[in-house]
Structure 1
Amino acid sequence: MKNISSKNGLIMAKADDLILFAQVVEHGSFSKVAELNSLTNSVVSKRIARLEDDLGVQLLYRTTRKLTVSEAGKVLYLGSKNVKQAAMEAVDAVSGFGEKVSGHVKMSVPTISGDLLLADAVAEFCAEHPGFTVDMSLDNRFVDLIEDGYDLVIRTGYLEDSSLIARHILDSQWVICAAPRYIALNGRPEVPQELVDHNCLQYAYQTTGASDWQFIGEQGNYILRVSGNFSTDNAAALRKAALGGYGIAYMPRCLVYHDIMEGKLVDLFPDQVGKRLGIYAVYPYTRQPSQKIRLLIEHIRSRYLAIKHYF
């Protein structure tokens, strides 16, 4: 019984050192971890050395150039990560009892929504909460939240990863549109099937294929294969090509909402386009999502809903 008690006491006493060890492995630097925790390099070194002495194994191989994790260290790191995560969740669980929101969030957002509203919305949230910082990347690729270290991702599309939590914000309807100039020169297609005779500008960032355009039919949705002389993975470039009268484009409605309202582009099939994708706030699975993430998502959601008619 005495051995069990002493072992439990050792585990409880070393929780802070385990968290510190996990940070050293993740950052690969004693000095970086010392800076993050307002400690000196020597203190960090002594605490890791003490952990090694207590466990009776070498966890890290240290040279003047780099740190290498031993096999025992790799095993311990897996458990240390859980200790670190549990501590963060415990703090986050009670952070809502105070009014101050602080900390740092690394997030990724799609380029269209980033330009349209998210850059402003997130910057506004930071301004409302001094001490809160955000590193926001505009990227259309489906980033790996865990591998790339993201706390929050805003994404449009179909989500299948069960290890992530996804909160639906709203749906984004796609449109098929062209400039009056293009229609004047080439005629307006009356039914979707006539698109095969037109120059169709293609958005390469599509999981279903840039030339596969989806429509609503009497027997359900169907795909029409189109072709054209211009394809791009940049939505802003696609919009400019359409505004220039160079072809018919297939893109999210929010990107060209004002252009359609002002008559710069014509919505050719307003009730027949079948592509409609959900916009989600996605974050790694935890038992208790952090207060700062919950509040940031709610702020972002409110900004989306304020202009839901764009979508």
Structure 2
Amino acid sequence: MPTSDTGEPTPSWRWPEETWRGHVEAVRAGRRLVPARWPGGARVAVALSFDSDHETIPLRDGETSPGRLAQGEYGARAGAPRILELLARHQVPATFFMPAVSARLHPDEARAYTRDGHELAVHGWIHERNTLLGHDDERELTARALETLTELTGQRPTGIRTPSWDFSDSTLRIMLELGFSYDSSLMADDEPYEVLAKGRPTGLVEIPVDWIRDDAPYFTMDRYGSVRPHSRPRDVREIWVDEFDAAYRAGGVFQLTLHPHVIGHRSRLVALRELLDHIAAHTGVWYATHAQVAEASRAVLRTPPDSAGAHDTRPDHPEATP
């Protein structure tokens, strides 16, 4: 960040164009990666994900009280088994982004994900705030997390979701160095896209997230802070139903981020069950892991931009109506 003669940060309104433009273009959304049809001729891709953070949220912040840790333990003890049962009942694969410390605390759970046909992907070491780390520390923790999940399951993860849902100045370079094929942390589109680094294609597929399609903002409770849950689970379900319906009309991706310690409570799991029932009532749905969506999206990169066959989502397009 530019500084003044006094050493103070220069206000952004004084930045020259090369400065603000440089920040904007450092990591940018490139080509939208939506095939004409998803595998099997499906009209929409549904990609459910669960961030199995468990005890790592308080541990990250140095909080070690039994009460705070128990809130995280709930996700492993009660939430995750219920979620796996629900997914099995609906025959839906999902992606579980799991901090390595969480996986080491609950190794049988990590193995159960891959054993049941789900994807296990990287979500940091201890849910660290990666944007506050220097390059060496961030790279070490990411590599250690990748190695841990590989050793526990015998399968090397291909995807990552940063714990901060954000990039530091080093994050993108680290992802490319470690060979990840996709990321799911950014919010530049509803649909998958290729990540650009200073205007240059990287080959990294982004499967975007958004707080709208995340359970935590609706239900999180902080006893000593201002965060209080204010949403009825069925109200949240209606938002997610609307998101799915729009993705279905557009022929794109419906991506959802959930947490076992949040959505796994009895009354909230009803919302997820009813959402899955709603999706199941539609034809042409492809349920996929994030890795599978990334692979199908990557195929678009192998076609010229003018013949990629991406859906036309204009209101008068025949596929824009149910």
Q: Shorter-chain TM-score: which interval?
A: under 0.3
The structure whose RCO (Cα within 8 Å, separation 6+) is larger is: 2
Q: Which of the two has greater strand per residue? A: 1
Which structure's CA Rg is the greater one? 1
